[in-house]
Structures are given as structure tokens and as C-alpha cells.
């Protein structure tokens, strides 16, 4: 990780998106005095909400991939995730609605998801989905430490540990 010289006991974080808020919590947990500035009307950034005509629409994330990373961030300031947030698993994560009136429900359970694909597109596509999900699980495992959970201080930072740049 790149470090900065000089005093770092008072820090300004620009932007109250998820990254800024997480950085602020970790810095606070490390004993720094932190001020977060945000140009928008409130915190959240792309994880926002628009309320119009009686509807509330999330503007960004719908899939919560790694709750353990959020738990870590709360732990940095001595807080427990489950005392701050109630997370409820969704069995049906979303519905893809097609122009011909058919639809596909995307299920968290792979077998239920594959059954839905088989009903809509046949058993060969369901087998393709199963293979795709296995590939994705492996991809997730491989990239977690080399990309998601890695500091990228610059666009030129290589995400592969063996990279010489």
C-alpha cells in the first residue's frame, strides 16, 4: 500500500460513497480524526435511492456479494454488523422479464435457478448455466485476494502478485 509522509492524525475523506465511508471508519478505528465531505445531498453515492411519485428506487447495488467485508469495516470501530443492519436472504434475487411476456426468476439456489432456465430454454441451457456457475465460483475464489481484497493505488497497479510492475 502507498503511504504518505508527514502527520496523518487529521484526515479529510472526499466523498461519502461506500469507499469513502469504509475508509473513514477504518481511519477512525486507527485513531485518526476524520472529516467526510460530500457534494451530494446525503451519503451513499452510487448506492443511492431516488424517491419519485410515491416510488422508492435503488440507483445502484442490488447484489451484496461479501458481507464479511462489511462486518470487518464495522469491526474496525468496535461495532457489530448485525447490531446495525438486519440482512435478510432473498431466495429470488430478481426477475428478468422478456418482451414476449415470458420471464426468468434468478434464484440464489443453483438447482432452482437451473430448473427455471430448463423450463424457459431447455435442458441444454440449464446444463450451460450449471457449468457457468461452477466457473464463476472458481473465478470468485481466484480473484478475491488478487483483485477485490487488494490495494490498487494507481491505474497502473498490477493486480497479480507475481507481476513485476
- Site residues (vs ligand FAD, CB under 6 A): 14-20, 37-40, 45-47, 60-63, 65
C-alpha 10/C-alpha 34 separation (Å) is: 6
- State the nearest-atom distance from the C-beta of 47 to ligand FAD, in Å: 4
- State the nearest-atom distance from the C-beta of 129 to ligand FAD, in Å: 19
C-beta closer to ligand FAD: residue 19 or 139 = 19
The helix or strand, by DSSP H or E, that contains position 92, with its residue range, turns out to be strand 92-97
C-beta closer to ligand FAD: residue 48 or 121 = 48
C-beta closer to ligand FAD: residue 24 or 126 = 24
96 - beta bridge partners? 104
C-alpha 103/C-alpha 22 separation (Å) is: 37
What the block records as the C-alpha cell of 58 is: 435503488
107 - beta bridge partners? 92
- State the nearest-atom distance from the C-beta of 73 to ligand FAD, in Å: 12
Amino acid at each position: 500500500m502507498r503511504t504518505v509522509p508527514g502527520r496523518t492524525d487529521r484526515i479529510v475523506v472526499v466523498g461519502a460513497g461506500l469507499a469513502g465511508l469504509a475508509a473513514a471508519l477504518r481511519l477512525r478505528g486507527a485513531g485518526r480524526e476524520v472529516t467526510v465531505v460530500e457534494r451530494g445531498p446525503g451519503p451513499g453515492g452510487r448506492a443511492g435511492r431516488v424517491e419519485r411519485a410515491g416510488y422508492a428506487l435503488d440507483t445502484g447495488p442490488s447484489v451484496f456479494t461479501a458481507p464479511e467485508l462489511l462486518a470487518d469495516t464495522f469491526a474496525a470501530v468496535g461495532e457489530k454488523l448485525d447490531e446495525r443492519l438486519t440482512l435478510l436472504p432473498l431466495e429470488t434475487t430478481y426477475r428478468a422479464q422478456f418482451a414476449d411476456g415470458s420471464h426468468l426468476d434468478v434464484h440464489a439456489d443453483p438447482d432452482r435457478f437451473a430448473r427455471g432456465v430448463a423450463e424457459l430454454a431447455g435442458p441444454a441451457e440449464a446444463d450451460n448455466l450449471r457449468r457457468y456457475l461452477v466457473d464463476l465460483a472458481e473465478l470468485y475464489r481466484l480473484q478475491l485476494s488478487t483483485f477485490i481484497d487488494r490495494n490498487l493505488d494507481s491505474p497502473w497497479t498490477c493486480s497479480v502478485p507475481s507481476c513485476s510492475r
